[in-house]
Amino acid sequence: MNTSYFAQIAEKIEAFFTQYPNGVLEILGPTASGKTGFSIRIAQHLTKKLGKPCEIISVDSRQIFKHIDIGSAKITEAEKQGIPHHGLDLKNPDKTCNAAEFQQYAFQTIEAIQNRQALPILCGGTMLWLDAISENYDFGEKGTKSTKKNPPKFPVLKIGIHWHRATLYERLNQRAQHMFENGLIEETKFLQKKFPNMSQNAFTSIGNEEVIDYLNGKISYEEALATNQQKNRKYAKRQLTWWRGRDDVFWIEGEKL
């Protein structure tokens, strides 16, 4: 842990909230980049330095579902360390949620957080949902994004966590193995039984499809794990492609945190 590096980042965030009391901090990055841990650490720091509590909004299209905890790498109560979290466990897995719906939920939650004189932090990796909030995308009646541009509802400081690709992929592989060894299979069994009509949103949570194939005897445990690891790597690549060349993101080095 490089404390001086963290201090430099924290100073930038402090200055942002000092200049923009109605601002929103956005922490983004590919899956397994350490967003959750960093969000907790910076929230604790900001409360200490600025004298205001922080509240975190998870922006993750899988973590909104109840019971998909391991498969979505959802933060635990212990990991929250008493910091209020939003955007988790909003729906049962047989329901759906799109970017337009979550955008309105986030806007209402941010307003409520600011009315409590607290600092809102967006944290997640669902690219369209994050941009829908920070850029105030306009959506049609069916939830499809229009070409109309709306002015942002609030100032946003976007902090992205970057890792060298080989290191990130190793982190992804290790996390997938940890999930398989610590309850992902049991969680998938429960979901199959409890919600036989899982929505496509929930069903495609990284891990569910290959675990079901393993449970049905179509592939081996080793093949299921390898498939899961590959899916995670591909998803991380898509995330990085989405943010490539963006000049509105301040990137920080995950290795130094």
pLDDT tens per residue across span 143-153: 788 777 799 99
Q: Which part of the chain has CATH 3.40.50.300?
A: 3-164+247-256
Question: What average pLDDT score do residues 66-75 get?
Answer: 95
Query: Predicted confidence band at 1 (pLDDT cuts at 50, 70, 90)?
Result: low
Contacts of 80 (CB under 8 A, 6+ apart): 40
Q: Which part of the chain has CATH 1.10.287.890?
A: 166-236
Q: Which fold has domain 3-164+247-256?
A: Rossmann fold (3.40.50)
**For the structural domain made of 166-236, what CATH number should be given?**
1.10.287.890
pLDDT at 199: 74
Question: What average pLDDT score do residues 191-213 get?
Answer: 81
Question: What average pLDDT score do residues 15-38 get?
Answer: 98
Question: Quick check: pTM over 0.85?
Answer: yes
Query: Predicted confidence band at 140 (pLDDT cuts at 50, 70, 90)?
Result: confident
pLDDT at 174: 98
pLDDT at 205: 64
pLDDT at 149: 76
Question: What average pLDDT score do residues 21-48 get?
Answer: 98
Query: Predicted confidence band at 196 (pLDDT cuts at 50, 70, 90)?
Result: confident
